[in-house]
Amino acid sequence: MLSLHNESSSLRSHVSGLLSSEGLSFDEITLSSLDVIVFGSRVSGLQRSRSDLDLLIVGNARGHKRIGKLDLIFVPERELNTSLRRRSELFRHIEEYGVSLMHDRVLVTSIRDDHAASRKLARLRALIDRALPSWDVFTEPIRLKYLVKFRREAQRYRLLKEGAAVPPTAQLDSKIASFRAIESAFEDLVTIAAGEAVEKFECYQLLTREAFRRRHTLARFKVS
């Protein structure tokens, strides 16, 4: 197994090469940054050929840029320790799984309260509510894509609710090795809908039945 130093050095070399291929300089970025952190699938070692390289750059800028296979998130140094940032799903993930290319450890710390879980719950409900009106006209591949999204978001919600960090998506998928794991995720959807209107509760039950019926395919189906 690689040491943390070797892992960081290997990542630094990979990041430097990828940045250079997009006309960016790793040295210039690090000179103007407090920290540069790799997170997501590249850290887990489960990335696919089409996977992006996710970087959090702590410095002066704020924003989100996609350049080729680079997914860059810029956070100003002054916001690093704000409550809003530290309570986010992203900071919880980076604290747990991120690898700093400039320091022995990442400079990100998180607050693990119910804020991230509440936001995830709202996102999950909104995602389902957008899909349900068109469910009957969706093709089978589109339904499967949505079922994978619902399953992943339900997994993430449970982890956040338990105070854990959400792993990279590929690692999340690797935990779905049994039908029971799929059923557990979709049972959460029915629990989420328990206090809603009868119509919505029945719709969430529909998704659960669809997942159970397709669970063999769902366990194998991958979506980028």
pLDDT tens across 41-86, in order?
777 666 666 667 899 999 999 999 998 888 999 999 999 999 999 9
Residue 198 C-beta-side C-alpha neighbours within 13 Å: 0
CATH number of 4-100: 3.30.460
Listed range (129-133, 173-177, 184-188) with the worst mean pLDDT: 173-177
What confidence score (pLDDT) does residue 112 get? Answer: 96
Residue position matching structure tokens 């924003």:
63
**How high is the pLDDT of residue 117?**
95
**Least trusted range by pLDDT, from 49-63, 81-95, 113-127:** 49-63
**What is the amino acid identity at position 46?**
L
Q: Let me know: does 190 contact 208? Beta carbons within 8 Å.
A: yes
CA atoms lying within 13 Å on the CB side of residue 104: 0
Other C-beta atoms lying within 10 Å of the C-beta of residue 213 = 10
pLDDT of residue 11: 80
Given a cut of 50, whether residue 223 has pLDDT beyond it is no
Mean pLDDT (whole number) for 162-176: 87
Residue 63 CA to residue 55 CA, distance in Å, equals: 12
Percentage with pLDDT > 70 across the chain = 85
Q: What CA–CA distance (Å, rounded) separates 183 from 175?
A: 13
pLDDT at 179 over 80: no
Residue 2 pLDDT grade (very low, low, confident, very high; cuts 50, 70, 90): very low
Q: Show me where the domains of the chain are located.
A: 4-100, 115-220
Q: Please state the pTM of the whole predicted model.
A: 0.84
